[in-house]
Amino acid sequence: MTWKRKDLLSMQDLEAGEIRDVLDTAESMKEIATREIKKVPTLRGKTVVNLFYEASTRTRTSFEIAGKWLSADVINFSASGSSAEKGESLLDTAKNIEAMSPDVVVVRHKAAGAPAMLARNLRCAVVNAGDGAHEHPTQALLDLLTIREKKGHLEGLNVTIVGDVAHSRVARSDIHGMRKMGMTVTVAGPPTLIPAACQELGVKVSYRLEEAIAHADVIMMLRLQHERMTAGFIPSLREYSRVWGLSLDRLKHCRSDVLIMHPGPVNRGVELSPEVADGPYSVILDQVTNGVAVRMAVLYLLAGSKGA
Amino acid sequence: MSVTYREKAQVLDESALDRALTRIAHEIVEQAGGVDDVALVGIKTRGVTLGQRIAAKIAAIEGKKPAVGALDITLYRDDLRLKAEQPVVRGTEVPFPIKGRTVVLVDDVLFTGRTIRAALDALMDLGRPRVIRLAVLVDRGHRELPIRPDYIGKNLPTSRRETVAVLLREHDGMDRVVIQEPSEEGEPQPKGEASQHGKSPRAERGSEG
Protein backbone atom coordinates (compact mmCIF):
# COMPACT_ATOMS: atom_id res chain seq x y z
CA MET A 1 0.00 0.00 0.00
CA THR A 2 1.55 3.28 -1.06
CA TRP A 3 -1.18 5.70 0.04
CA LYS A 4 0.32 8.57 2.05
CA ARG A 5 -1.80 11.54 1.00
CA LYS A 6 -3.85 13.76 3.28
CA ASP A 7 -6.21 14.76 0.46
CA LEU A 8 -7.53 13.53 -2.87
CA LEU A 9 -7.57 16.56 -5.14
CA SER A 10 -6.85 15.42 -8.67
CA MET A 11 -5.92 12.52 -10.90
CA GLN A 12 -3.04 14.63 -12.19
CA ASP A 13 -1.37 14.30 -8.77
CA LEU A 14 -1.77 10.54 -8.46
CA GLU A 15 0.75 7.95 -9.52
CA ALA A 16 -0.20 4.70 -11.23
CA GLY A 17 0.57 2.72 -8.07
CA GLU A 18 -1.76 4.89 -5.99
CA ILE A 19 -4.53 4.51 -8.56
CA ARG A 20 -4.05 0.74 -8.44
CA ASP A 21 -4.25 0.80 -4.62
CA VAL A 22 -7.57 2.66 -4.70
CA LEU A 23 -8.99 0.28 -7.33
CA ASP A 24 -7.86 -2.83 -5.44
CA THR A 25 -9.32 -1.50 -2.18
CA ALA A 26 -12.57 -0.59 -3.95
CA GLU A 27 -12.82 -4.07 -5.44
CA SER A 28 -12.67 -5.53 -1.93
CA MET A 29 -15.30 -3.06 -0.73
CA LYS A 30 -17.82 -4.25 -3.34
CA GLU A 31 -18.63 -7.36 -1.33
CA ILE A 32 -20.22 -5.22 1.40
CA ALA A 33 -22.92 -4.08 -1.04
CA THR A 34 -24.01 -7.71 -1.51
CA ARG A 35 -24.63 -8.27 2.21
CA GLU A 36 -27.93 -8.33 3.97
CA ILE A 37 -26.51 -5.94 6.57
CA LYS A 38 -24.53 -3.39 4.58
CA LYS A 39 -22.32 -2.01 7.30
CA VAL A 40 -18.81 -2.47 8.62
CA PRO A 41 -17.50 -0.65 11.72
CA THR A 42 -14.29 0.68 10.14
CA LEU A 43 -14.93 4.44 10.39
CA ARG A 44 -16.96 4.40 13.58
CA GLY A 45 -16.60 7.75 15.32
CA LYS A 46 -15.33 9.48 12.18
CA THR A 47 -17.24 12.39 10.68
CA VAL A 48 -17.55 13.07 6.96
CA VAL A 49 -18.96 16.42 5.83
CA ASN A 50 -20.35 16.75 2.31
CA LEU A 51 -19.84 20.39 1.37
CA PHE A 52 -21.66 20.85 -1.93
CA TYR A 53 -21.86 24.24 -3.60
CA GLU A 54 -23.18 22.76 -6.85
CA ALA A 55 -26.12 20.54 -7.62
CA SER A 56 -25.44 16.84 -7.34
CA THR A 57 -27.49 13.71 -6.84
CA ARG A 58 -25.21 10.84 -7.73
CA THR A 59 -21.95 12.03 -6.23
CA ARG A 60 -23.36 13.36 -2.97
CA THR A 61 -25.56 10.31 -2.41
CA SER A 62 -22.69 8.04 -3.33
CA PHE A 63 -20.35 9.65 -0.78
CA GLU A 64 -23.12 9.57 1.80
CA ILE A 65 -23.81 5.86 1.30
CA ALA A 66 -20.10 5.07 1.21
CA GLY A 67 -19.56 6.87 4.52
CA LYS A 68 -22.57 5.27 6.16
CA TRP A 69 -21.67 1.73 5.07
CA LEU A 70 -18.30 2.30 6.74
CA SER A 71 -20.11 3.54 9.89
CA ALA A 72 -18.92 7.16 9.63
CA ASP A 73 -21.32 9.96 10.57
CA VAL A 74 -22.13 11.82 7.37
CA ILE A 75 -23.39 15.37 7.40
CA ASN A 76 -24.67 17.06 4.25
CA PHE A 77 -24.20 20.74 3.71
CA SER A 78 -25.56 22.32 0.57
CA ALA A 79 -25.09 25.94 -0.38
CA SER A 80 -28.78 26.65 -0.80
CA GLY A 81 -30.51 27.10 2.53
CA SER A 82 -27.23 27.71 4.36
CA SER A 83 -24.99 30.54 5.52
CA ALA A 84 -23.44 30.61 2.03
CA GLU A 85 -26.63 32.34 0.90
CA LYS A 86 -26.06 34.96 3.58
CA GLY A 87 -22.71 35.81 2.04
CA GLU A 88 -20.27 33.71 4.04
CA SER A 89 -17.11 32.90 2.08
CA LEU A 90 -16.11 29.32 1.27
CA LEU A 91 -13.08 29.51 3.54
CA ASP A 92 -15.09 30.94 6.44
CA THR A 93 -17.71 28.23 6.07
CA ALA A 94 -15.01 25.58 5.92
CA LYS A 95 -13.21 26.99 8.98
CA ASN A 96 -16.47 26.91 10.88
CA ILE A 97 -17.07 23.34 9.85
CA GLU A 98 -13.53 22.44 10.83
CA ALA A 99 -14.18 23.86 14.29
CA MET A 100 -16.64 21.00 14.67
CA SER A 101 -13.81 18.47 14.10
CA PRO A 102 -14.74 16.55 10.98
CA ASP A 103 -12.26 13.96 9.69
CA VAL A 104 -13.01 14.27 5.99
CA VAL A 105 -14.57 17.14 4.03
CA VAL A 106 -15.91 16.32 0.57
CA VAL A 107 -16.15 19.47 -1.55
CA ARG A 108 -17.87 20.32 -4.77
CA HIS A 109 -17.52 23.89 -5.99
CA LYS A 110 -17.91 25.77 -9.24
CA ALA A 111 -14.46 27.31 -8.91
CA ALA A 112 -11.50 25.25 -10.08
CA GLY A 113 -8.98 24.94 -7.26
CA ALA A 114 -11.48 25.47 -4.43
CA PRO A 115 -10.79 22.01 -2.90
CA ALA A 116 -7.04 22.58 -3.15
CA MET A 117 -7.42 25.90 -1.35
CA LEU A 118 -9.40 24.20 1.42
CA ALA A 119 -6.85 21.39 1.63
CA ARG A 120 -4.11 23.93 2.31
CA ASN A 121 -6.14 25.60 5.02
CA LEU A 122 -7.81 22.69 6.81
CA ARG A 123 -6.19 20.03 8.99
CA CYS A 124 -8.72 17.38 7.99
CA ALA A 125 -8.67 15.36 4.77
CA VAL A 126 -10.25 17.03 1.73
CA VAL A 127 -11.76 15.18 -1.23
CA ASN A 128 -12.45 16.95 -4.48
CA ALA A 129 -15.93 15.95 -5.63
CA GLY A 130 -15.74 18.20 -8.67
CA ASP A 131 -14.28 21.69 -9.03
CA GLY A 132 -15.48 23.71 -12.00
CA ALA A 133 -14.13 22.36 -15.27
CA HIS A 134 -10.95 21.19 -13.53
CA GLU A 135 -11.18 17.67 -12.04
CA HIS A 136 -13.49 15.05 -10.59
CA PRO A 137 -11.06 12.36 -9.42
CA THR A 138 -13.50 9.88 -7.84
CA GLN A 139 -15.45 9.78 -11.12
CA ALA A 140 -12.28 8.87 -13.02
CA LEU A 141 -11.48 6.20 -10.43
CA LEU A 142 -14.92 4.62 -10.72
CA ASP A 143 -14.63 4.72 -14.52
CA LEU A 144 -11.29 2.92 -14.32
CA LEU A 145 -12.71 0.36 -11.87
CA THR A 146 -15.65 -0.33 -14.21
CA ILE A 147 -13.40 -0.73 -17.25
CA ARG A 148 -10.95 -2.97 -15.37
CA GLU A 149 -13.81 -5.11 -14.11
CA LYS A 150 -15.35 -5.54 -17.57
CA LYS A 151 -12.17 -5.89 -19.59
CA GLY A 152 -9.94 -7.56 -17.02
CA HIS A 153 -7.14 -5.02 -17.50
CA LEU A 154 -6.52 -1.39 -18.38
CA GLU A 155 -3.19 -1.22 -20.18
CA GLY A 156 -3.38 -1.00 -23.95
CA LEU A 157 -7.11 -0.26 -24.18
CA ASN A 158 -8.45 2.40 -26.56
CA VAL A 159 -10.84 4.88 -25.02
CA THR A 160 -12.75 7.52 -26.96
CA ILE A 161 -14.25 10.42 -25.06
CA VAL A 162 -17.01 12.11 -27.05
CA GLY A 163 -18.67 15.46 -26.70
CA ASP A 164 -18.25 18.49 -24.50
CA VAL A 165 -14.62 18.00 -23.49
CA ALA A 166 -14.06 21.71 -22.93
CA HIS A 167 -16.45 22.00 -20.01
CA SER A 168 -15.87 18.53 -18.61
CA ARG A 169 -13.96 17.94 -15.39
CA VAL A 170 -14.74 14.25 -15.88
CA ALA A 171 -12.90 14.22 -19.20
CA ARG A 172 -9.89 15.92 -17.66
CA SER A 173 -9.68 13.48 -14.74
CA ASP A 174 -10.32 10.50 -17.02
CA ILE A 175 -7.59 11.56 -19.43
CA HIS A 176 -5.01 11.93 -16.65
CA GLY A 177 -6.01 8.63 -15.04
CA MET A 178 -6.25 6.64 -18.25
CA ARG A 179 -2.92 7.89 -19.61
CA LYS A 180 -1.24 6.92 -16.34
CA MET A 181 -2.70 3.43 -16.61
CA GLY A 182 -1.26 2.99 -20.10
CA MET A 183 -4.45 3.51 -22.10
CA THR A 184 -4.77 5.30 -25.42
CA VAL A 185 -7.25 8.17 -25.30
CA THR A 186 -8.97 9.88 -28.23
CA VAL A 187 -11.24 12.87 -27.75
CA ALA A 188 -13.91 13.67 -30.30
CA GLY A 189 -16.41 16.48 -30.60
CA PRO A 190 -17.18 19.72 -32.41
CA PRO A 191 -14.07 21.97 -32.55
CA THR A 192 -15.79 24.55 -30.35
CA LEU A 193 -15.97 21.97 -27.54
CA ILE A 194 -12.45 20.51 -27.89
CA PRO A 195 -9.83 22.72 -26.21
CA ALA A 196 -6.86 23.55 -28.41
CA ALA A 197 -4.41 22.48 -25.70
CA CYS A 198 -5.89 18.99 -25.53
CA GLN A 199 -2.97 17.34 -27.26
CA GLU A 200 -0.65 18.44 -24.48
CA LEU A 201 -2.38 15.87 -22.29
CA GLY A 202 -1.26 13.12 -24.66
CA VAL A 203 -4.57 12.43 -26.38
CA LYS A 204 -5.52 12.09 -30.04
CA VAL A 205 -8.13 14.49 -31.36
CA SER A 206 -10.79 13.58 -33.90
CA TYR A 207 -13.56 15.65 -35.41
CA ARG A 208 -15.41 12.71 -36.92
CA LEU A 209 -17.46 10.43 -34.69
CA GLU A 210 -17.39 7.28 -36.88
CA GLU A 211 -13.63 7.44 -37.23
CA ALA A 212 -13.13 8.10 -33.50
CA ILE A 213 -15.25 5.19 -32.26
CA ALA A 214 -14.37 2.54 -34.87
CA HIS A 215 -11.54 0.94 -32.87
CA ALA A 216 -12.59 1.96 -29.37
CA ASP A 217 -12.76 -0.60 -26.55
CA VAL A 218 -14.58 2.00 -24.48
CA ILE A 219 -16.71 4.98 -25.53
CA MET A 220 -17.25 7.62 -22.89
CA MET A 221 -20.13 9.88 -23.85
CA LEU A 222 -20.10 13.24 -22.08
CA ARG A 223 -23.08 15.29 -21.08
CA LEU A 224 -23.62 18.52 -22.94
CA GLN A 225 -23.20 21.00 -20.08
CA HIS A 226 -25.81 23.65 -20.77
CA GLU A 227 -25.20 25.29 -17.42
CA ARG A 228 -21.55 26.07 -18.16
CA MET A 229 -22.14 27.26 -21.73
CA THR A 230 -22.50 30.94 -22.16
CA ALA A 231 -23.53 30.80 -25.82
CA GLY A 232 -22.68 29.83 -29.34
CA PHE A 233 -20.78 26.56 -28.91
CA ILE A 234 -23.22 24.53 -30.99
CA PRO A 235 -25.78 25.57 -33.60
CA SER A 236 -28.62 23.65 -31.92
CA LEU A 237 -29.29 20.66 -29.70
CA ARG A 238 -30.88 18.87 -32.64
CA GLU A 239 -27.89 19.31 -34.84
CA TYR A 240 -25.51 18.29 -32.05
CA SER A 241 -27.52 15.16 -31.45
CA ARG A 242 -27.57 14.29 -35.15
CA VAL A 243 -23.81 14.72 -35.60
CA TRP A 244 -22.45 13.68 -32.20
CA GLY A 245 -25.17 11.59 -30.60
CA LEU A 246 -24.61 7.85 -30.21
CA SER A 247 -27.46 5.87 -31.74
CA LEU A 248 -27.94 2.16 -32.42
CA ASP A 249 -27.15 2.84 -36.05
CA ARG A 250 -23.76 4.34 -35.23
CA LEU A 251 -22.99 1.51 -32.83
CA LYS A 252 -22.95 -0.89 -35.81
CA HIS A 253 -19.55 0.47 -36.78
CA CYS A 254 -18.05 -0.28 -33.38
CA ARG A 255 -16.26 -3.28 -31.95
CA SER A 256 -18.64 -6.01 -30.85
CA ASP A 257 -17.31 -5.86 -27.27
CA VAL A 258 -17.36 -2.08 -26.89
CA LEU A 259 -18.37 -0.57 -23.54
CA ILE A 260 -20.60 2.51 -23.51
CA MET A 261 -20.09 4.74 -20.49
CA HIS A 262 -21.53 8.03 -19.33
CA PRO A 263 -20.78 9.94 -16.13
CA GLY A 264 -24.42 11.01 -15.82
CA PRO A 265 -26.80 12.67 -15.73
CA VAL A 266 -27.74 11.55 -19.26
CA ASN A 267 -29.50 13.93 -21.59
CA ARG A 268 -31.56 11.25 -23.26
CA GLY A 269 -31.88 11.81 -26.97
CA VAL A 270 -29.06 14.36 -27.03
CA GLU A 271 -25.71 12.59 -26.56
CA LEU A 272 -27.18 9.09 -26.15
CA SER A 273 -30.26 7.55 -27.69
CA PRO A 274 -32.37 5.69 -25.10
CA GLU A 275 -31.79 2.38 -26.93
CA VAL A 276 -28.05 2.77 -26.45
CA ALA A 277 -28.26 4.07 -22.88
CA ASP A 278 -30.34 1.04 -21.84
CA GLY A 279 -28.73 -1.40 -24.27
CA PRO A 280 -26.43 -4.34 -23.68
CA TYR A 281 -23.21 -2.38 -24.24
CA SER A 282 -24.09 0.21 -21.64
CA VAL A 283 -22.36 -0.03 -18.25
CA ILE A 284 -23.75 3.25 -16.97
CA LEU A 285 -25.39 1.70 -13.92
CA ASP A 286 -22.29 -0.40 -13.15
CA GLN A 287 -20.46 2.91 -12.98
CA VAL A 288 -22.88 4.12 -10.32
CA THR A 289 -22.53 0.90 -8.30
CA ASN A 290 -18.75 1.12 -8.51
CA GLY A 291 -18.94 4.75 -7.46
CA VAL A 292 -19.94 3.74 -3.94
CA ALA A 293 -17.11 1.19 -3.72
CA VAL A 294 -14.54 3.72 -4.94
CA ARG A 295 -15.72 6.32 -2.43
CA MET A 296 -15.58 3.77 0.37
CA ALA A 297 -12.00 3.04 -0.63
CA VAL A 298 -11.12 6.74 -0.74
CA LEU A 299 -12.70 7.46 2.67
CA TYR A 300 -10.96 4.42 4.15
CA LEU A 301 -7.55 5.42 2.80
CA LEU A 302 -7.89 9.10 3.76
CA ALA A 303 -9.32 8.53 7.22
CA GLY A 304 -6.18 6.55 8.01
CA SER A 305 -3.83 9.28 6.86
CA LYS A 306 -2.12 11.42 9.45
CA GLY A 307 -4.17 14.48 8.60
CA ALA A 308 -7.42 12.87 9.67
CA MET B 1 12.32 0.56 13.02
CA SER B 2 12.84 -2.80 11.50
CA VAL B 3 13.79 -5.70 13.67
CA THR B 4 15.19 -8.79 12.05
CA TYR B 5 14.26 -12.18 13.41
CA ARG B 6 16.23 -15.37 13.45
CA GLU B 7 14.93 -18.85 13.82
CA LYS B 8 15.08 -20.21 17.35
CA ALA B 9 13.43 -23.59 16.96
CA GLN B 10 11.28 -25.61 14.61
CA VAL B 11 7.99 -26.52 16.25
CA LEU B 12 6.22 -28.54 13.56
CA ASP B 13 7.63 -30.16 10.47
CA GLU B 14 5.64 -31.13 7.41
CA SER B 15 4.29 -34.42 8.72
CA ALA B 16 3.56 -33.10 12.23
CA LEU B 17 1.63 -30.18 10.70
CA ASP B 18 -0.34 -32.61 8.54
CA ARG B 19 -1.13 -34.86 11.51
CA ALA B 20 -2.31 -31.87 13.54
CA LEU B 21 -4.74 -30.88 10.76
CA THR B 22 -5.96 -34.49 10.46
CA ARG B 23 -6.71 -34.58 14.18
CA ILE B 24 -8.53 -31.24 14.02
CA ALA B 25 -10.63 -32.55 11.10
CA HIS B 26 -11.60 -35.64 13.13
CA GLU B 27 -12.46 -33.53 16.17
CA ILE B 28 -14.66 -31.21 14.12
CA VAL B 29 -16.59 -34.14 12.61
CA GLU B 30 -16.92 -35.86 15.97
CA GLN B 31 -18.22 -32.80 17.80
CA ALA B 32 -20.59 -31.76 15.02
CA GLY B 33 -21.84 -35.33 14.54
CA GLY B 34 -21.38 -35.08 10.76
CA VAL B 35 -20.65 -32.36 8.26
CA ASP B 36 -24.05 -31.47 6.90
CA ASP B 37 -24.32 -28.02 8.41
CA VAL B 38 -20.62 -27.41 9.01
CA ALA B 39 -18.88 -24.55 7.18
CA LEU B 40 -15.25 -23.57 7.55
CA VAL B 41 -14.35 -19.90 7.40
CA GLY B 42 -10.65 -19.12 7.24
CA ILE B 43 -9.13 -15.81 8.25
CA LYS B 44 -7.05 -14.40 5.43
CA THR B 45 -4.52 -15.37 4.28
CA ARG B 46 -3.12 -18.54 5.84
CA GLY B 47 -6.28 -19.35 7.77
CA VAL B 48 -8.04 -19.81 4.43
CA THR B 49 -5.38 -22.23 3.22
CA LEU B 50 -5.60 -24.19 6.46
CA GLY B 51 -9.41 -24.19 6.18
CA GLN B 52 -9.18 -25.68 2.70
CA ARG B 53 -6.82 -28.40 3.90
CA ILE B 54 -9.05 -29.28 6.84
CA ALA B 55 -12.06 -29.37 4.50
CA ALA B 56 -10.23 -31.81 2.22
CA LYS B 57 -9.46 -34.02 5.22
CA ILE B 58 -13.09 -33.93 6.36
CA ALA B 59 -14.09 -34.93 2.82
CA ALA B 60 -11.75 -37.91 3.06
CA ILE B 61 -13.32 -38.95 6.37
CA GLU B 62 -16.98 -38.31 5.65
CA GLY B 63 -17.13 -38.40 1.87
CA LYS B 64 -18.54 -34.90 1.80
CA LYS B 65 -16.68 -31.62 1.67
CA PRO B 66 -17.86 -28.74 3.86
CA ALA B 67 -18.09 -25.25 2.36
CA VAL B 68 -15.02 -23.05 2.82
CA GLY B 69 -15.16 -19.25 3.00
CA ALA B 70 -12.56 -16.53 3.40
CA LEU B 71 -12.83 -13.70 5.88
CA ASP B 72 -10.87 -10.46 5.67
CA ILE B 73 -10.99 -8.75 9.06
CA THR B 74 -9.20 -5.53 8.06
CA LEU B 75 -12.37 -3.42 8.23
CA TYR B 76 -13.04 -4.72 11.75
CA ARG B 77 -9.64 -4.12 13.33
CA ASP B 78 -9.40 -2.15 16.58
CA ASP B 79 -5.99 -0.71 15.79
CA LEU B 80 -6.60 1.20 12.56
CA ARG B 81 -5.81 4.49 14.27
CA LEU B 82 -2.50 3.21 15.59
CA LYS B 83 -0.99 2.51 12.21
CA ALA B 84 1.03 4.82 10.03
CA GLU B 85 -0.90 3.76 6.94
CA GLN B 86 -4.05 1.80 6.33
CA PRO B 87 -3.66 -1.96 6.00
CA VAL B 88 -4.64 -3.49 2.67
CA VAL B 89 -8.27 -4.56 2.40
CA ARG B 90 -8.35 -7.97 0.73
CA GLY B 91 -12.05 -8.71 0.58
CA THR B 92 -14.31 -11.27 2.20
CA GLU B 93 -15.64 -14.23 0.20
CA VAL B 94 -18.28 -16.22 2.05
CA PRO B 95 -20.56 -17.21 -0.85
CA PHE B 96 -22.96 -19.31 1.23
CA PRO B 97 -25.46 -18.49 3.97
CA ILE B 98 -24.06 -19.02 7.46
CA LYS B 99 -27.41 -18.61 9.18
CA GLY B 100 -28.20 -21.63 11.36
CA ARG B 101 -24.93 -23.40 10.55
CA THR B 102 -21.97 -24.58 12.58
CA VAL B 103 -19.20 -22.25 11.51
CA VAL B 104 -15.62 -23.18 12.32
CA LEU B 105 -13.31 -20.18 12.20
CA VAL B 106 -9.80 -21.18 11.15
CA ASP B 107 -6.61 -19.21 11.77
CA ASP B 108 -2.94 -20.07 11.83
CA VAL B 109 -1.76 -18.54 15.11
CA LEU B 110 -3.83 -17.54 18.14
CA PHE B 111 -2.06 -14.85 20.15
CA THR B 112 -3.80 -11.85 21.76
CA GLY B 113 -7.25 -12.87 20.52
CA ARG B 114 -7.89 -9.50 18.89
CA THR B 115 -8.02 -10.93 15.38
CA ILE B 116 -10.63 -13.44 16.53
CA ARG B 117 -12.64 -10.68 18.20
CA ALA B 118 -12.68 -8.83 14.88
CA ALA B 119 -13.51 -12.04 13.00
CA LEU B 120 -16.48 -12.72 15.28
CA ASP B 121 -17.87 -9.25 14.54
CA ALA B 122 -17.26 -9.73 10.81
CA LEU B 123 -18.99 -13.10 10.87
CA MET B 124 -22.01 -11.82 12.81
CA ASP B 125 -22.50 -9.13 10.16
CA LEU B 126 -22.88 -11.88 7.55
CA GLY B 127 -25.61 -13.73 9.42
CA ARG B 128 -26.44 -15.62 12.59
CA PRO B 129 -24.67 -18.99 12.79
CA ARG B 130 -26.07 -21.59 15.19
CA VAL B 131 -22.64 -21.95 16.76
CA ILE B 132 -19.17 -20.60 16.04
CA ARG B 133 -16.11 -22.66 16.94
CA LEU B 134 -12.46 -21.79 16.66
CA ALA B 135 -9.70 -23.92 15.17
CA VAL B 136 -6.07 -22.75 15.27
CA LEU B 137 -2.88 -24.46 14.19
CA VAL B 138 -0.85 -22.88 16.98
CA ASP B 139 -1.96 -21.39 20.30
CA ARG B 140 0.95 -19.35 21.60
CA GLY B 141 -0.75 -17.84 24.66
CA HIS B 142 -0.67 -14.18 25.81
CA ARG B 143 -4.41 -13.60 25.38
CA GLU B 144 -5.69 -10.05 25.88
CA LEU B 145 -9.35 -11.00 25.48
CA PRO B 146 -11.48 -13.82 26.91
CA ILE B 147 -11.21 -16.05 23.84
CA ARG B 148 -10.53 -19.80 23.88
CA PRO B 149 -9.97 -22.12 20.90
CA ASP B 150 -11.98 -25.34 20.46
CA TYR B 151 -9.49 -27.17 18.26
CA ILE B 152 -5.74 -26.69 18.67
CA GLY B 153 -2.99 -28.12 16.47
CA LYS B 154 -0.21 -27.31 18.91
CA ASN B 155 -0.01 -25.55 22.26
CA LEU B 156 3.15 -23.53 22.20
CA PRO B 157 4.39 -21.57 25.22
CA THR B 158 6.26 -18.50 23.92
CA SER B 159 7.71 -15.31 25.24
CA ARG B 160 6.13 -12.09 24.04
CA ARG B 161 9.22 -10.95 22.18
CA GLU B 162 9.25 -14.06 20.05
CA THR B 163 7.16 -14.54 16.95
CA VAL B 164 5.63 -17.67 15.50
CA ALA B 165 5.91 -18.12 11.74
CA VAL B 166 3.57 -20.53 10.00
CA LEU B 167 4.95 -21.38 6.59
CA LEU B 168 2.66 -23.16 4.16
CA ARG B 169 3.46 -24.79 0.84
CA GLU B 170 0.93 -22.65 -1.06
CA HIS B 171 2.49 -19.37 0.09
CA ASP B 172 6.00 -20.15 1.25
CA GLY B 173 6.96 -23.28 -0.67
CA MET B 174 7.19 -25.46 2.44
CA ASP B 175 5.19 -26.67 5.40
CA ARG B 176 6.65 -25.85 8.78
CA VAL B 177 6.11 -23.83 11.94
CA VAL B 178 9.03 -22.08 13.63
CA ILE B 179 9.63 -19.83 16.60
CA GLN B 180 11.70 -16.77 15.86
CA GLU B 181 13.38 -14.27 18.15
CA PRO B 182 14.81 -10.80 17.50
CA SER B 183 18.40 -11.14 16.35
CA GLU B 184 19.79 -8.16 18.31
CA GLU B 185 20.14 -8.78 22.02
CA GLY B 186 17.56 -6.94 24.09
CA GLU B 187 15.95 -5.24 21.12
CA PRO B 188 12.28 -4.75 21.87
CA GLN B 189 9.72 -6.25 19.58
CA PRO B 190 8.06 -3.57 17.44
CA LYS B 191 4.59 -2.55 18.46
CA GLY B 192 1.91 -3.02 15.87
CA GLU B 193 1.85 -5.88 13.40
CA ALA B 194 4.27 -8.24 15.03
CA SER B 195 3.02 -7.90 18.58
CA GLN B 196 -0.55 -7.87 17.40
CA HIS B 197 -0.27 -11.13 15.60
CA GLY B 198 2.91 -12.60 16.82
CA LYS B 199 4.13 -13.57 13.42
CA SER B 200 7.33 -12.87 11.65
CA PRO B 201 7.50 -9.99 9.19
CA ARG B 202 7.83 -12.66 6.54
CA ALA B 203 4.63 -14.45 7.45
CA GLU B 204 2.98 -11.08 8.03
CA ARG B 205 3.21 -10.07 4.40
CA GLY B 206 0.68 -12.61 3.35
CA SER B 207 -1.45 -12.50 6.44
CA GLU B 208 -3.29 -9.77 8.23
CA GLY B 209 -4.68 -12.37 10.59
pLDDT at residue number B145: 96
Mean pLDDT along residues A258-277: 94
Q: Is B34 left (phi over 0), alpha (psi -120 to 50) or beta?
A: left
Beta strand pairing status for A204-206 and B5-12?
A: unpaired
CB–CB contact B72 A28 (8 Å): yes
Q: Which residues of B touch A305 (CB under 8 A)?
A: 85-86
* DSSP letter assigned to residue B74: G
Q: Which alpha helices (DSSP H) does B33-184 contain, by range?
A: 46-62, 114-126, 169-172
Q: Report the residue from A25, A41, A305 with minimal CB separation from B89.
A: A25
Q: Report the residue from A28, A39, A305 with minimal CB separation from B125.
A: A39
Q: Which residues of A touch B80 (CB under 8 A)?
A: 42, 304
Please tell me whether the peptide bond between A265 and the residue prior to it is cis, using omega within 30 degrees of 0.
yes
Binding-site residues on chain B for chain A (CB distance < 8 A): 72, 75-76, 80-81, 83-93, 121-122, 125-127
CB–CB contact B75 A25 (8 Å): no
pLDDT at residue number A1: 67
Residue of B nearest to A23 (CA): B89
Q: Which residues of B touch A70 (CB under 8 A)?
A: 75
Residue of B nearest to A38 (CA): B125
CB–CB contact A301 B86 (8 Å): yes
Q: Model pTM?
A: 0.88
pLDDT at residue number A115: 97
Q: Is A145 left (phi over 0), alpha (psi -120 to 50) or beta?
A: alpha
| Residues of chain A above pLDDT 90, percent | 79
Strand, coil or helix: what is B47?
A: helix
Mean pLDDT, chain A, integer: 92
Distances (CA, A) of A295 to A51, B34, B181: 15, 44, 41
Q: Does the structure show a pLDDT above 80 at A99?
A: yes
- The verdict on ipTM greater than 0.85 is no
CB–CB contact B85 A4 (8 Å): yes
